[in-house]
Amino acid sequence: MNWIPFDHGGRTHRFPYVRADGGVWMGWPGGTGYFTAEAPGETRRATPAGEIRAPMTGKVVRLPAVAGAVVKEKDIVAVLEAMKMEYRLTAPFDGVVERVNCTEGQQVDLGLVLLVVKKP
């Protein structure tokens, strides 16, 4: 994992990134994004909206969501601990947890799909 420093308001923030599949996964508190270079006339590859990815490399410390569970938008579905901070990952919309790809106590990398939520 690498870090990009960013100065804002007199403070330096660091954002983690990992190169993968011809692009870059970046993390920030509460989210992740996959970025690629765009060629003229090319559209950016979209990440499926229901995928909840690790915003940083860290440890899954709580996993209240299970496959088949009904969740509401902003319900906490996983808690990740990284750099002595907890990141509460929430459902992006009302739906059903289709898949859980991690377990409590598991060490995960930035950008890994932890859960998938599907609209009903």
Q: How many domains does the chain have?
A: 1
Tokens at 70, concatenated = 């009904």
How many of the other CB atoms lie within 10 Å of CB of 55?
Answer: 24
The residues, any chain, with a CB within 8 Å of residue 30's CB and separated by 6 or more, are: 55, 87, 88, 89, 90
pLDDT tens for 44-68 read 444 567 888 888 889 999 999 999 9
Mean pLDDT for each consecutive 10-residue tract of the chain (120 residues)? 82 84 78 69 53 89 95 92 86 93 94 90
Q: For residue 14, give the CATH number of its domain.
A: 2.40.50.100
What is the pLDDT, as a whole number, of residue 44?
Answer: 41
Cβ–Cβ < 8 Å for 54, 79: no
Determine the structural domain holding residue 39 and report its residue range: 2-118
Nearest alpha-carbon partner for 112 in 14, 36, 1, 13: 1
